[in-house]
Amino acid sequence: MRASTSSERPVPVIVASDKLAEIQAEFSREWLRLSTQAQQGMLGSTHDRRFSNEAWSSNPGSLLLAHAYLLSARAMQQMVEAAQATEPVRNRLRFSVMQWVDALAPSNFLATNPEAQQALIESRGESFRLGLENLVCDLRKGRLSQTDESKFELGKNVGITPGAVVFENRLFQLIQYSPVTPSVYQKPLVIVPPCINKFYILDLQPENSFVRYATEQGFTVMLVSWRNPLASDTDGVDSATWDDYLQEGVLTALDVACAISGQKQINALGFCVGGTLLASALALAHAKGQEPVSALTLLTTLLDFDDTGVLDVFVDEAHAQTRERQIGRSGLMSARELGTTFAFLRPNELVWNYVVSNYLKGLAPPPFDLLFWNSDGTNLPGPFFTWYFRNTYLENNLKKPGRVKVDGHALDLQSLKMPAYVYGSREDHIVPWPAAYASTRILRGSIRFVLGASGHIAGVINPPAKKRRHYWAYENDYQHTDIPGDPEAWLGGASQHAGSWWPDWANWLALHSGSQVRRKSKLGNARYMPIEEAPGRYVKVRAA
Active site residues: 272
Task: Report the half-sphere exposure of 192 (CA within 13 A, side-chain side).
Answer: 31
User: Contact, 172 vs 225, CB < 8 A?
Assistant: yes
- Report how far residue 264's alpha carbon sits from residue 257's, in angstroms, rounded to the nearest whole number: 10
- Report how far residue 369's alpha carbon sits from residue 457's, in angstroms, rounded to the nearest whole number: 13
- Report how far residue 445's alpha carbon sits from residue 500's, in angstroms, rounded to the nearest whole number: 25
Task: Report the half-sphere exposure of 216 (CA within 13 A, side-chain side).
Answer: 14
- Amino acid 289 reads G
Greatest Cα pair distance in the chain: 83
Count the neighbouring beta carbons within 10 Å of the beta carbon of residue 235. 10
User: Contact, 534 vs 452, CB < 8 A?
Assistant: no
What phi, psi does 84 have (nearest 5°)? -85, 85
> Of 490, 468, 467, which Cα lies nearest the Cα of 477?
490
H-helix or E-strand containing 270? strand 266-271
User: Contact, 232 vs 374, CB < 8 A?
Assistant: no
- Report how far residue 88's alpha carbon sits from residue 515's, in angstroms, rounded to the nearest whole number: 51
- DSSP structure class, residue 127: H
